[in-house]
Protein backbone atom coordinates (compact mmCIF):
# COMPACT_ATOMS: atom_id res chain seq x y z
CA UNK A 1 0.00 0.00 0.00
CA UNK A 2 1.40 3.38 -1.03
CA UNK A 3 1.82 6.22 1.42
CA UNK A 4 0.42 9.55 0.31
CA UNK A 5 2.46 12.72 0.69
CA UNK A 6 0.92 16.08 -0.07
CA UNK A 7 2.90 19.01 -1.36
CA UNK A 8 2.50 22.56 -2.59
CA UNK A 9 4.78 25.16 -4.07
CA UNK A 10 4.98 28.83 -3.10
CA UNK A 11 7.34 31.64 -4.11
CA UNK A 12 9.46 33.26 -1.41
CA UNK A 13 12.46 35.60 -1.12
CA UNK A 14 14.70 32.50 -0.83
CA UNK A 15 13.27 30.88 -3.95
CA UNK A 16 10.38 28.58 -4.56
CA UNK A 17 9.42 26.59 -1.48
CA UNK A 18 8.06 23.06 -1.62
CA UNK A 19 6.07 22.27 1.50
CA UNK A 20 5.34 18.61 2.28
CA UNK A 21 2.75 17.06 4.59
CA UNK A 22 1.78 13.54 5.61
CA UNK A 23 -1.84 14.71 5.84
CA UNK A 24 -1.61 15.66 9.50
CA UNK A 25 1.72 17.43 10.01
CA UNK A 26 4.29 19.35 8.06
CA UNK A 27 7.15 16.96 7.26
CA UNK A 28 9.32 19.07 5.01
CA UNK A 29 10.15 22.42 3.47
CA UNK A 30 12.53 22.44 0.52
CA UNK A 31 14.10 25.50 -1.07
CA UNK A 32 14.11 24.66 -4.75
CA UNK A 33 16.83 25.83 -7.08
CA UNK A 34 15.94 27.17 -10.53
CA UNK A 35 15.02 24.32 -12.82
CA UNK A 36 14.64 21.79 -10.01
CA UNK A 37 11.78 19.34 -10.44
CA UNK A 38 8.89 20.49 -8.22
CA UNK A 39 7.66 16.92 -7.76
CA UNK A 40 9.75 15.33 -5.01
CA UNK A 41 11.87 12.37 -6.05
CA UNK A 42 10.95 9.38 -3.97
CA UNK A 43 10.62 5.68 -3.72
CA UNK A 44 7.80 3.87 -5.52
CA UNK A 45 5.96 3.38 -2.22
CA UNK A 46 4.98 7.05 -2.04
CA UNK A 47 2.29 8.76 -4.06
CA UNK A 48 2.74 12.55 -4.37
CA UNK A 49 -0.38 14.69 -4.54
CA UNK A 50 -0.31 18.46 -4.99
CA UNK A 51 -2.70 19.94 -2.44
CA UNK A 52 -2.67 23.70 -1.84
CA UNK A 53 -5.59 23.32 0.58
CA UNK A 54 -3.69 20.78 2.72
CA UNK A 55 -0.74 23.20 3.05
CA UNK A 56 -2.57 26.53 3.14
CA UNK A 57 -1.90 27.24 6.83
CA UNK A 58 1.83 26.54 6.43
CA UNK A 59 1.94 28.67 3.26
CA UNK A 60 0.11 31.54 4.97
CA UNK A 61 2.43 31.43 8.01
CA UNK A 62 5.53 31.38 5.79
CA UNK A 63 4.18 34.33 3.77
CA UNK A 64 3.56 36.27 7.00
CA UNK A 65 7.10 35.42 8.19
CA UNK A 66 8.63 36.75 4.97
CA UNK A 67 6.44 39.87 5.19
CA UNK A 68 7.84 40.55 8.68
CA UNK A 69 4.43 39.93 10.27
CA UNK A 70 5.24 36.63 12.05
CA UNK A 71 8.18 35.72 14.28
CA UNK A 72 7.22 32.16 15.13
CA UNK A 73 5.16 29.34 13.68
CA UNK A 74 2.22 27.41 15.03
CA UNK A 75 2.14 24.25 12.94
CA UNK A 76 2.09 20.53 13.70
CA UNK A 77 5.53 19.23 12.71
CA UNK A 78 6.65 15.67 12.10
CA UNK A 79 10.24 15.55 10.85
CA UNK A 80 11.76 12.13 10.22
CA UNK A 81 15.15 11.53 11.78
CA UNK A 82 17.18 9.68 14.36
CA UNK A 83 16.57 10.33 18.07
CA UNK A 84 19.75 12.46 18.10
CA UNK A 85 18.63 14.52 15.09
CA UNK A 86 15.19 15.01 16.63
CA UNK A 87 16.80 16.31 19.84
CA UNK A 88 18.84 18.83 17.82
CA UNK A 89 15.80 19.96 15.85
CA UNK A 90 13.77 20.39 19.06
CA UNK A 91 16.56 22.56 20.47
CA UNK A 92 16.53 24.70 17.31
CA UNK A 93 12.92 25.60 18.03
CA UNK A 94 14.04 27.31 21.27
CA UNK A 95 16.28 29.84 19.47
CA UNK A 96 14.31 33.11 19.45
CA UNK A 97 13.58 35.04 16.27
CA UNK A 98 16.40 37.44 15.47
CA UNK A 99 18.96 35.67 17.65
CA UNK A 100 21.81 33.34 16.80
CA UNK A 101 23.78 30.76 18.71
CA UNK A 102 26.90 28.74 17.95
CA UNK A 103 27.03 25.04 17.15
CA UNK A 104 28.87 24.62 20.46
CA UNK A 105 25.99 26.25 22.32
CA UNK A 106 23.50 24.07 20.48
CA UNK A 107 25.46 20.97 21.52
CA UNK A 108 25.47 22.21 25.12
CA UNK A 109 21.71 22.76 24.99
CA UNK A 110 21.06 19.14 24.04
CA UNK A 111 23.28 17.99 26.90
CA UNK A 112 26.27 16.84 24.85
CA UNK A 113 28.81 19.67 24.69
CA UNK A 114 31.35 17.47 22.88
CA UNK A 115 29.00 16.64 20.00
CA UNK A 116 29.62 19.85 18.06
CA UNK A 117 30.32 18.11 14.73
CA UNK A 118 27.37 15.73 15.12
CA UNK A 119 25.14 18.70 15.96
CA UNK A 120 26.37 20.44 12.80
CA UNK A 121 25.56 17.36 10.73
CA UNK A 122 22.08 17.06 12.25
CA UNK A 123 21.50 20.77 11.74
CA UNK A 124 22.38 20.32 8.06
CA UNK A 125 19.82 17.51 7.68
CA UNK A 126 16.92 19.51 9.11
CA UNK A 127 13.99 18.67 6.82
CA UNK A 128 11.90 21.70 7.85
CA UNK A 129 14.22 24.72 7.47
CA UNK A 130 12.98 28.24 8.24
CA UNK A 131 10.21 26.87 10.49
CA UNK A 132 12.75 24.82 12.45
CA UNK A 133 15.30 27.65 12.37
CA UNK A 134 18.61 25.98 11.57
CA UNK A 135 19.69 29.24 9.90
CA UNK A 136 20.08 30.76 13.39
CA UNK A 137 23.15 28.62 14.12
CA UNK A 138 26.46 30.20 13.21
CA UNK A 139 30.16 29.58 13.74
CA UNK A 140 31.78 30.10 17.14
CA UNK A 141 33.62 33.14 15.75
CA UNK A 142 30.34 34.70 14.59
CA UNK A 143 30.81 33.73 10.95
CA UNK A 144 28.20 32.28 8.68
CA UNK A 145 28.89 28.62 8.17
CA UNK A 146 27.23 25.85 6.18
CA UNK A 147 23.58 25.92 5.30
CA UNK A 148 21.76 23.35 3.20
CA UNK A 149 20.04 26.11 1.25
CA UNK A 150 23.32 27.94 0.66
CA UNK A 151 24.93 30.82 2.52
CA UNK A 152 23.16 33.56 0.52
CA UNK A 153 19.82 32.18 1.71
CA UNK A 154 21.08 31.92 5.29
CA UNK A 155 22.27 35.53 5.14
CA UNK A 156 18.91 36.67 3.76
CA UNK A 157 16.98 34.87 6.51
CA UNK A 158 19.19 36.34 9.25
CA UNK A 159 18.89 39.82 7.76
CA UNK A 160 15.12 39.43 7.51
CA UNK A 161 15.07 38.66 11.23
CA UNK A 162 17.30 41.62 12.05
CA UNK A 163 20.23 39.37 12.92
CA UNK A 164 22.32 40.61 9.99
CA UNK A 165 24.94 41.83 12.46
CA UNK A 166 25.85 38.25 13.40
CA UNK A 167 29.61 38.96 13.69
CA UNK A 168 28.91 41.48 16.46
CA UNK A 169 26.59 39.19 18.39
CA UNK A 170 27.77 37.93 21.73
CA UNK A 171 27.63 34.17 21.45
CA UNK A 172 26.86 32.18 24.53
pLDDT at 41 over 70: yes
Distance from C-alpha of 33 to C-alpha of 20, rounded to nearest angstrom: 16
* Topology at the third CATH level for domain 83-168: Arc Repressor Mutant, subunit A (1.10.10)
Q: Which of these is catalytic: 130, 134, 156, 158? A: 134
* Topology at the third CATH level for domain 3-66: Double Stranded RNA Binding Domain (3.30.160)
Domain boundaries, the chain: 3-66, 83-168
pLDDT at 40 over 80: no
With a CB cutoff of 8 Å and minimum separation 6, the contacts of 130 are: 14, 17, 29, 62, 65, 157
* pLDDT tens-digit readout, 47-92: 999 999 999 999 999 999 999 999 999 999 999 999 999 999 999 9
* pLDDT tens-digit readout, 157-172: 999 999 755 444 433 3
Whether residue 76 lies in the annotated active site: no
> To the nearest whole number, what is the mean pLDDT of the chain?
91
Residues of the chain with pLDDT > 70, as a percent, come to: 94
* pLDDT tens-digit readout, 115-133: 999 999 999 999 999 999 9
Provide the sign of the torsion angle of the four alpha carbons 60, 161, 40, 35, taken in this order. Answer: positive
Amino acid sequence: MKKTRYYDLRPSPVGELRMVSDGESLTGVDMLDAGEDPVPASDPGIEWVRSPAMLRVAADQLAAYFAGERTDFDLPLSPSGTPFQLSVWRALLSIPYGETISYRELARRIGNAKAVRAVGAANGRNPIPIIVPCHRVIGADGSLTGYGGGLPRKRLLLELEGAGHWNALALR
